[in-house]
Chain A
Amino acid sequence: MSFLSVSKVSKAFGGNTVVDAVDLDVERGTFFALLGPSGCGKTTLLRMIAGFETPDSGTISIDGEVMNAVPPHQRPTNMVFQSYAIFPHLNVFDNIAYGLRQLRLPREELRRRVETMLATVRLEGLGGRAADQLSGGQRQRVALARALVREPKVLLLDEPLGALDKRLREAMQIELRTIQRKVGITFLLVTHDQEEALSLSDRVAVMSGGRILQVASPRELYQRPNCREVASFIGEMNFFHASVKDIGEKGVTVNAGLLGNITLPRANAANGIKTGDTILLAIRPEQVRVASEGVTGEIITQTFLGERSHFHVKIAGRTAPVAVSGHPPPGSAVTLAFPPENLIGLPSSD
Chain B
Amino acid sequence: MKSSRLLFGYALAYLAFLYVPVLVLPLFSLNNSAFIAFPLAGFTTRWYAGLADSALQHALVNSLKVGIATALISTLLGLTAARAVTRYRLRGANAALGVISLPLFIPDIVLGISLLLLLGTLGLPLSLASVVLGHLLICVPFSLTVLIARFEGFDRNLEEASADLGEDGWMTFWRVTLPLMLPGIVASLLLTFITSFDEFLVAYFLSGTEATLPVYIWSQLRFPARLPMVLALGTLILAVSVVLVIFAEKLRNQGVKKPVVGA
Contact = CB atoms under 8 A, between A and B. Distances in A.
Interface string A20-52: 000000000000000000000000000000111
Contact of A132 (B161, B175, B258, B262): B258
B117 interface: no
A98 B158 contact: no
Given A72-B160, A135-B260, 6 more contacts: A71-B168, A81-B160, A87-B176, A102-B167, A150-B165, A150-B166
A78 B256 CA distance: 25
A146 B260 contact: no
Interface string B243-263: 000000000000011111111
A92 interface: no
Given A73-B163, A99-B165, A132 B259 contact: yes
Interface residues of A, number: 35
Interface string A245-269: 0000000000000000000000000
Contact of B163 (A71, A83, A134, A165): A71
Contact of B180 (A73, A89, A168): A89
A98 B162 contact: yes
A77 B164 contact: yes
B98 interface: no
B263 A137 contact: yes
A101 B166 CA distance: 9
Contact of B164 (A50, A88, A139, A168): A50
Interface in A76-99: 77-79, 81, 83, 85-89, 98-99
Interface in A120-134: 131-134
A87 to B, nearest CB: 6
Contacts of A83: 155, 157
A64 interface: no
Which residue, of A51, A52, A89, A164, has the highest number of chain B Cβ atoms within 10 A? A89
B19 to A, nearest CB: 37
A73 B259 contact: no
Interface of B: 155, 157-158, 160-168, 175-176, 179-180, 256-263
A98 B168 CA distance: 13
Chain B contact residues: helix, strand, loop or mixed: loop
A147 B162 CA distance: 11
Given A73-B167, A150-B166, A87 B161 contact: yes
Interface of A: 50-52, 71-74, 77-79, 81, 83, 85-89, 98-99, 101-102, 131-137, 139, 146-147, 150, 164-165, 168
B257 to A, nearest CB: 4
A307 B155 CA distance: 41
B164 A79 contact: yes
A79 B161 CA distance: 7
A88 B261 CA distance: 14
A139 B164 CA distance: 17
8 contacts: A72-B164, A73-B166, A78-B164, A79-B161, A88-B259, A132-B260, A134-B259, A136-B261
A87 B263 contact: no
Contacts of B261: 136
B157 A81 contact: yes
A137 B155 CA distance: 19
Contacts of B161: 79, 81, 85, 87, 146
Contacts of A81: 157, 160-161
Contacts of A135: 260, 262-263
Given A102-B166, A150-B165, A88 B160 contact: no
Nearest to B255: A88
Contacts of A78: 164-165
A101 B160 CA distance: 17
A51 to B, nearest CB: 8
Contacts of A86: 259
Given A135-B262, A165-B263, A85 B180 contact: no
A168 B263 contact: yes
Chain A to chain B: the 9 pairs with minimum beta-carbon distance, closest first: A99-B165, A85-B157, A85-B161, A72-B163, A132-B257, A73-B163, A81-B157, A89-B179, A79-B164
A109 to B, nearest CB: 17
A83 B258 CA distance: 12
Nearest to B258: A132
Nearest to A97: B165
Contacts of A87: 158, 161-162, 176
A134 to B, nearest CB: 7
A138 B257 CA distance: 17
A110 to B, nearest CB: 14
Nearest to A139: B259
Contacts of A150: 165-166
A87 B259 CA distance: 11
A143 to B, nearest CB: 8
B160 A85 contact: yes
A164 B175 CA distance: 29
